[in-house]
Amino acid sequence: MEPTFSPPLHMQRHQFVIDFVKRNKTQKVVDLGCSECSLLKKLKFHREIELLVGVDINGAKVKRKMHGLAPISSYYLQPTYDQLRIELYQGSVTQKDVRLRGFDLATCIELIEHLTLADVERFSEVVFGYMTPVAVIVSTPNSEFNPLFPGLTGFRHSDHKFEWTRAEFKSWALKVCLEYGYEVDFTGVGQAPPGQQERVGFCSQIGVFHRLGGRDSCNMLYGDDAEDMFSYTLLYSINYPSLRDQNILRRVLVSEVLYWAEKLKGRWLEQKRDYSFTLCQTEGGVSERRMEMENKQTAYATEACGAEMCGRGVAEDTERKDEELSWTNVQGQQELHRFVSVPLAVLWYRCPKVSALSGNLTNLKHILMEAPEVKLSQDGSAVLVQDQGFEEKGDCNDLEDSGYAEASQYSHSDEQEQAWDANV
């Protein structure tokens, strides 16, 4: 009966590589003979990897499914600080290309048996002698296992040029180690039925090579060649969105600030409306009492917004001073607009994501000053969010009557004002 593997053998080979990557935290990985990029598609989820490269002699095969390597939309919506660049090349492992030097890991999964023995020699020199990755994983069929496939005559695949016994694989691997300064461990995937493991070995035999001296003994002789070689053709490349890219960080921070400023404004206005309604109903309200109520209402609204919106406790007294939202008038070309002024300090202290992304208040201010979508107060200490309901309000919420900060604020420049207007 034909041996079946669970999980399937090709998945076991790929899982072997994934486990290695996880254990060794490899950052730069190249898959030689990547075919339709199925291993690369699994590896792209391992965020310790920063550079993922695939090479295959058959460009058409690579192109068939390479777009599956593009980032899905959530990477753009919620980028992290992780970085990933993916590159795919059409080229032969028997030829040198300088872009393949300096990797932590080169994988050659079921590749070498597709090469003639003369090309295996060239492959050894290119991979171990020129690319000199820190580690190399080579998997290839173990011919001693073949009798367990009933009816199999010849090789497992029509394109295979050879299939080695364990001794043949070992002899090639040890020669490579001696010649290029590596050591090797032998293992495999695809267990034989009970009792037969020792006699036939694994279905796929695997050699895991480590460069002697490891990561630090970099024997990369950059510049030792007369000229750098670029023999491969780039088919595809993509940079995953990362917060380490200043443009992306700026975009995420600005949208976070606009979101929270709008939310805080909404809560604050809601609280004000409730209080004003109470005041309107109190016939002949004494002005002193009104002031008192309004003071209370500012503190209350701020606290409610801050604590509820961002999940933080009440701030220190020293911070409280800056933490008051207020109304601000801005004279446009023809009409007066009313804005709610949301201090940057409130946003920074109350919204963890805003503080994490900006690092400090000064940085936040500088980033926002350069963002046309954000309207800042003249001194740059607060975000101004338009109070859309301004015109509709009755006497009760009348601006003249509000008793709140009404110092006229002007935007930084007409240009900025127009740009901002266009965005609201």
Q: Which residues does 314 contact at the CB level (< 8 Å), separation at least 6?
A: 303, 306, 307
H helices of 232-315, where?
A: 246-281, 287-310
Which residue's CB is nearer to ligand SAH, number 112 or number 384?
Answer: 112
Which residue's CB is nearer to ligand SAH, number 189 or number 325?
Answer: 189
- According to DSSP, the residues that pair with 399 across neighbouring strands are none
Tell me which residues touch ligand SAH (CB under 6 A): 10, 33, 35, 38-39, 55-58, 61, 92-94, 109-111, 114-115
Least CB distance from residue 59 to ligand SAH, whole Å?
A: 9
Least CB distance from residue 128 to ligand SAH, whole Å?
A: 15
For CA atoms 79, 85, 88, 94, the dihedral sign is negative
d(CA 39, CA 12): 11
Which residue's CB is nearer to ligand SAH, number 161 or number 210?
Answer: 161
Token couple for 307: 């604590």
Q: What is the DSSP string of 334-402?
A: SSEEEEEEEEHHHHHHH-HHHHHHH-SHHHHHHHHHT-TT--B-TTSSEEEEE-TTTTT--GGG-GGGS
Least CB distance from residue 348 to ligand SAH, whole Å?
A: 49
Are 40 and 86 in contact by the 8 Å Cβ rule? The answer is yes
Which residue's CB is nearer to ligand SAH, number 45 or number 81?
Answer: 45
Least CB distance from residue 35 to ligand SAH, whole Å?
A: 3
Least CB distance from residue 261 to ligand SAH, whole Å?
A: 50
Least CB distance from residue 72 to ligand SAH, whole Å?
A: 22
Which residue's CB is nearer to ligand SAH, number 97 or number 110?
Answer: 110
Which residue's CB is nearer to ligand SAH, number 43 or number 344?
Answer: 43
Residue nearest to ligand SAH (CB): 33
Of 133, 95, 86, the residue nearest 115 (C-alpha)? 95
Which residue's CB is nearer to ligand SAH, number 58 or number 418?
Answer: 58
Token couple for 303: 């606290």
Least CB distance from residue 112 to ligand SAH, whole Å?
A: 9
